[in-house]
Structure 1
Amino acid sequence: MADASGFGVGPAVVLLAAGVVAVPIFRRLGLGSVLGYLSAGLIIGPFGLGLFNDAEALLHIAELGVVLFLFIIGLEMRPSKLWKLRKQIFGLGAAQVLTCGALLTGVGVLAGLAPAVAAVAAMGFVLSSTAVIMQMLEEEGDKAEPEGQRAIAILLLEDLAIVPLLALVALWAAFNGQAAEASMPFWQSAGIAIGALAALIAAGRWLLDPFFGLIARAGAREVLTAAALLVVLGSALFMQTAGLSMAMGAFLAGVLLSESSFRHQLEADIEPFRGILLGLFFLSVGMSLNLTIVFSEGQLVLGGVLAFMIVKAIGIYGIARAAHSDHRAATHRAALFAQGGEFAFVLYAAALAVGLFDARISAIMTAIVILSMALTPLVLIAQKRMRRDAPVSMEGIDKAEDLRGRVLFIGFGRFGQVASQALLSRRVELALIETDVEMIRAAANFGFKIHYGDGTRLDVLHASGAATAEAILVCVEKPEIADQIVALCKAEFPLAQLYVRSFDRGHALRLIQAGVDFQIRETFESALVFSEAVLTGLGFEEEDAREAIAEVRERDEQRVELELVGGLTAGRVLLRGNMVTPEPEPFFPRARSAAPADS
């Protein structure tokens, strides 16, 4: 098992076992899957247990994971959506690359490197890791958010930047008398790249959809999967041959197929390969960390990691703020992009090939990039904790004081906002308090005046007008917080009607015990309406669908009554006018075997 290039069953088992063991542990510790894969790769690699000696060969294969990842991202980026991001790609992305490149070049020169060497080292580190950033965005659920879209736009520009950077390596080497005689002029390489892009776009627009239609009519599912892989890998290889990156080719193929009728089928076919190969990529990056260099050049490597990451983060933060991002978004982007990436390996290999880098500089810079990739999950965790612990600015936020309203809202998130609309339409006077400062500021943009106030504090409730309110609406998201507010309101403001958003059946039972006037589970009624629409859509009569929903609601009421009587309260409970019966009907029809799901 000394060589990963053999691709026997033994190496495959070791790789799968490493990922299966490490990733769940690291995710349970809150460190993320990326750090789990990197650590596992380090352990089984040539500088750990020595189960694999050729990490570079494995890395070349595992890069297909990044290629497939970019293809799936492309499927989600329709051309119209990509056009909307053009300013962020060529404006924000270019500004970040050029600013950080200049700053890091200065760091390299101060460290004693020649200007050309420092510039190549800096620009390699500027190209952030697409694999790491996309994986972190996916785990955080931020990929579709505005900030996630900006991150994708910057990554696209960085992918494009590899072409002029490789040309500059040859140019810098030529000035130093080190260029190969057969090196291509920049104008020629740029022309080939542009021509390849045009050819791929033309093929995608006029050939891909008919091609998949022809394959689909053959009726062989496995052939359609093979065709999807052929298009992705073929596009990637075509772009690489033209001097662009494989990831860019795969991304463009995805964009061109994003409006195809086969889009969802392609995504389902590619997804399993993407996940496995991307994990393999992180494993191979972990194996590539040369611990001999880290220990022998420890001061230089660790100093380089800290200096490059800190200076790059400062540059990213400055660009983000100049682009009108707030402090929170700017710090998150700085933490997310502060590392080097996989394209640095390509750039450093090119610099080594033309003699611009010597073997020592190449090994040190590669180690710096890999360590920065490994540190990214930890940096993000630290940034989140600092953001959580940092004092929130109260500028422009009014605290609850001498409020008066016929109805007092405690919590004004999505639930409270919807609940308020009918009241506002009838000009009911509302007093609104909330603890989320960002929510207060966002609501102000829509004409809502919300005051800052913690509903679990008696003095805040008095200041919010709870003593004179006819109704108190508890719309907070956390059930334990709602319980505290209910207990306080029942004890101090017994004349006010108490309406509460409940979380699940258990929470609803607690609220009924507490004696609230009305409670509703946050998803129960919407799920019933949803289910009724499904029944009518399937062709059931509207009356039949309404009866089915009424049966579900009745069984749920019976279950609540039974649980109250059986384990929570004594005596009879009156709910919606129905007295508790000793032997209620089954909660679900006997003909069905599905277990009842709590709402």
Structure 2
Amino acid sequence: MAMDGSANQLIGVVTLLGAAVIGVPLFKRIGLGSVLGYLAAGLAIGPSGLGLMSDAQTIIHIAELGVVMFLFIIGLEMKPSHLWSLRGQIFGLGSMQVVLSSILLTFVGIAFGFSWQVSFVSGAGFVLTSTAIVMQVLSERGDIQTPKGQRIVSILLFEDLLIVPLLAIVAFLAPADIATKHGLPIWEKIAFAGLSLAVLIGAGIWLLNPLFRVLAKAKAREVMTAAALLVVLGAALLMELGGLSMAMGAFLAGVLLSESTFRHQLEADIEPFRGLLLGLFFLGVGMALNLDVVGRNWQLVIAGVMALMITKAICIYCVARLAKSNHAEAIDRAILMAQGGEFAFVLFTEALKLNVLTSEINANITAIVVLSMALTPMVVVLHKRFGTKQNVSLDGVEEPRDVQASVLVIGFGRVGQIASQGPLAKGAKLSIIDSDPDVIRAAEPYGFKVFYGDGARADILHAAGALQASVILVCINDKNAVTRIVETARHECPNIRLVVRAFDREHALELVKHDADFIVRETFESSLLMAKQAVVLLGSGEQEAEDLIAEVRNRDAERFVLETTGGLFAGRALVLGNIEYIPPPKHEEDKATD
């Protein structure tokens, strides 16, 4: 029997992993993202699908640790000083969105015919956005550390802080005999929550760093991993015992360790568990979508999803605009945060236990929340594909008008800023254009006058002084745009010298065909420098290392020439890497055979 039980558990694990391995790559391949892939896989193997798995709530409860670990990693990226700087967004923007959304969503419930108590609990639960889905989407887009991403994170943090007061309100709404039987007095709950926070902060300040120093001296990698998990799970448990959000506890633990010398080690240790458990959470949510409930009450569920999501989205948009976010950011935030979240399940379970919600209402509102979570990744993808592009703010930015300079720099990012130092040191006058207004505004405090313009447009090139310049430096990191710029510049200014940043070898070959003069692959020189250092560390002298790397450069240049059309460059010199290759003169009869 024991063997049968173990086999059944193993079958369950294999089923979950198999569903993830099949569903996620498939959905990412068709452009729908990993979150939707997990949700679809969970629905497929769950009770409403093939019926291979049945206990969705247990899986969700275990996999919530993925959300906990995600918040711990986010906390590691936020130093206390940075978190303090976000206090206005957390409590100002967060409270404004939560209060307004709660009021409007309560009226939606009343409009559906429910009592104000049921409407408030349902609306308050729906206000609690899914941290897992939003953070995963932000992470995939690389937006977590951007200003708009930080505003969303601030709101999510404030919503996590609401768990205790909302649970207290649910207890207040419960019948007196039920509330007395099932709960502690409110003041005791607040006291426990405060004590838990104090213990966590004290441990973070005085215990964690000494602990990791001792473990680091032991030089046992597996113990460091165990300690990282202990910190995350211990912080989550402490907050759970205090009636707070587990994710909030992990986040605070991360913040307290954000300035530790062990921060990167902790992040590396936690990351594999975080990714796996977060995926498991999404699988559980997909399994929890009860299509039988949706089928029996499909009109109420679908109408509820539409009404709650649209109302919440409108509210989020209005709050974002009141907080002076632009239209595109407000729309993006509204779409991303319009769903209910995993903490709603906690609130609804407590409300069911205290007889604030009936079992039927709980089943319906749970289905509404799960369906909203499943729809969000799809809406995000649709908005990305078919939504209007963000209008770029050009405040404080001007276009070039009859600029005269000896060097025109197109693109003023990392490469452009470094490449411009040489001409500046020689005393050359620069004309600089870039198509990103944020880059232009960021360069202004450092004394650089950067004009707004697309270097692929002939009129912009003329206005930026291309006809008077001796050299054009093309430094942007979009290889298609670089090619268009080279084509236009060569056509408009046939005698100018073009120094061009290439993405890779294939791109460099393409630029040769468009008559670029000097081509530098963006990773070539740094890679050769690493190679030289490796040769030196292997025991070679500096001169021997230089000679070896020079040989590598020469071989690369020769291969590059052979890969071009006949190795012909119309008699012009090319820089490949940092060496100049001048093709030997050829007779006309030789050209015909190349």
TM-score, with structure 1 as normaliser:
0.86
Partner Cα separation in structure 1 for residue 436 and residue 55 of structure 2: 52
Q: Is it true that 1:558 corresponds to 2:555 in the alignment? A: yes
- 1:67–1:451 Cα change, 3 Å: closer
The match for 1:76 is: 77
The match for 2:376 is: 376
Deviates most, 324-333 or 12-21: 324-333
The match for 1:65 is: 66
- 1:391–1:69 Cα change, 3 Å: closer
Partner Cα separation in structure 2 for residue 540 and residue 522 of structure 1: 28
| Kept after mapping to 1: 8 A contact 2:182/2:354 | no
- 1:273–1:461 Cα change, 3 Å: closer
The match for 2:100 is: 99
Partner Cα separation in structure 1 for residue 490 and residue 516 of structure 2: 8
What secondary structure is seen at the aligned counterpart in 1 of 2:420?
A: helix
The match for 1:315 is: 315
Q: Is it true that 1:548 corresponds to 2:545 in the alignment? A: yes
What secondary structure is seen at the aligned counterpart in 2 of 1:495?
A: coil
- Offset, 1:579: 6.7
| Kept after mapping to 1: 8 A contact 2:42/2:286 | yes
Partner Cα separation in structure 1 for residue 376 and residue 365 of structure 2: 17
What secondary structure is seen at the aligned counterpart in 2 of 1:568?
A: coil
Equivalent AA in structure 2 for residue 501 of structure 1: R
| Kept after mapping to 1: 8 A contact 2:532/2:549 | no
| Kept after mapping to 2: 8 A contact 1:528/1:549 | no
Equivalent AA in structure 2 for residue 366 of structure 1: T
- Offset, 1:163: 0.5
The match for 2:566 is: 569
The match for 1:584 is: none
The match for 1:152 is: 153
Deviates most, 404-413 or 89-98: 404-413
- Offset, 1:466: 2.8
| Kept after mapping to 2: 8 A contact 1:103/1:311 | yes
Partner Cα separation in structure 1 for residue 85 and residue 539 of structure 2: 43
Partner Cα separation in structure 2 for residue 304 and residue 213 of structure 1: 53
What secondary structure is seen at the aligned counterpart in 1 of 2:34?
A: helix
- Offset, 1:504: 1.8
| Kept after mapping to 2: 8 A contact 1:472/1:499 | yes
The match for 1:284 is: 284
Equivalent AA in structure 1 for residue 179 of structure 2: A
Equivalent AA in structure 2 for residue 94 of structure 1: S
What secondary structure is seen at the aligned counterpart in 2 of 1:142?
A: coil
Superposition pairs of residues 350-361 of structure 1, within 5 angstroms: 350-361=350-361
- Offset, 1:373: 1.2
Partner Cα separation in structure 1 for residue 546 and residue 5 of structure 2: 59
- Offset, 1:226: 3.2
Partner Cα separation in structure 1 for residue 43 and residue 423 of structure 2: 60
The match for 2:499 is: 499
| Kept after mapping to 1: 8 A contact 2:175/2:355 | no
Partner Cα separation in structure 2 for residue 353 and residue 315 of structure 1: 30
Deviations 1:332-374 (A, max 9, x none): 2222222111000000111111111112221121111111111
Partner Cα separation in structure 1 for residue 261 and residue 436 of structure 2: 42
| Kept after mapping to 2: 8 A contact 1:4/1:52 | no
| Kept after mapping to 2: 8 A contact 1:5/1:58 | no
Partner Cα separation in structure 1 for residue 192 and residue 222 of structure 2: 35
Deviations 1:283-335 (A, max 9, x none): 11111111112122222222222222222222222333333333333332222
Q: Indicate the RMSD between aligned Cα atoms, in angstroms.
A: 3.2
| Kept after mapping to 1: 8 A contact 2:104/2:311 | yes
What secondary structure is seen at the aligned counterpart in 2 of 1:556?
A: helix
Equivalent AA in structure 1 for residue 431 of structure 2: A
- Offset, 1:433: 3.6
Equivalent AA in structure 2 for residue 137 of structure 1: L
Deviations 1:408-449 (A, max 9, x none): 333343322333344456664433344445544555565554
Partner Cα separation in structure 1 for residue 381 and residue 191 of structure 2: 44
| Kept after mapping to 2: 8 A contact 1:561/1:580 | no
- 1:428–1:578 Cα change, 3 Å: closer
| Kept after mapping to 2: 8 A contact 1:180/1:354 | no
> What residue ranges of structure 2 are gaps of 5+ in the alignment?
585-594
> What residue ranges of structure 1 are gaps of 5+ in the alignment?
582-599
| Kept after mapping to 2: 8 A contact 1:313/1:338 | yes
Deviations 1:502-546 (A, max 9, x none): 22223333434544332222233344456667888x6979xx447
Partner Cα separation in structure 1 for residue 319 and residue 535 of structure 2: 52
| Kept after mapping to 2: 8 A contact 1:163/1:243 | yes
The match for 2:330 is: 330
Deviations 1:193-233 (A, max 9, x none): 10111122223333334444555555554444334333332
| Kept after mapping to 1: 8 A contact 2:294/2:301 | yes
Superposition pairs of residues 22-61 of structure 1, within 5 angstroms: 22-61=23-62
Deviations 1:442-476 (A, max 9, x none): 55565554444443343443344333332233233
| Kept after mapping to 2: 8 A contact 1:5/1:54 | no
Q: Is it true that 1:432 corresponds to 2:432 in the alignment? A: yes
- 1:553–1:151 Cα change, 3 Å: farther
Deviations 1:378-404 (A, max 9, x none): 222233345554555666654455443
Superposition pairs of residues 377-526 of structure 1, within 5 angstroms: 377-386=377-386, 389=389, 392=392, 398-424=398-424, 428-440=428-440, 442-443=442-443, 448-526=448-526
The match for 2:127 is: 126
The match for 1:306 is: 306
Partner Cα separation in structure 1 for residue 259 and residue 398 of structure 2: 48
Equivalent AA in structure 1 for residue 557 of structure 2: V
What secondary structure is seen at the aligned counterpart in 2 of 1:408?
A: strand
What secondary structure is seen at the aligned counterpart in 1 of 2:409?
A: strand
- 1:140–1:425 Cα change, 3 Å: same
- Offset, 1:61: 1.7
Deviates most, 447-456 or 9-18: 447-456
- 1:301–1:571 Cα change, 3 Å: closer
Partner Cα separation in structure 2 for residue 331 and residue 115 of structure 1: 30
Partner Cα separation in structure 2 for residue 546 and residue 244 of structure 1: 64
Deviates most, 212-221 or 281-290: 212-221
What secondary structure is seen at the aligned counterpart in 2 of 1:432?
A: strand
Equivalent AA in structure 2 for residue 305 of structure 1: V
Partner Cα separation in structure 2 for residue 417 and residue 316 of structure 1: 39
Percent sequence identity is 53
What secondary structure is seen at the aligned counterpart in 1 of 2:519?
A: strand
- 1:37–1:547 Cα change, 3 Å: same
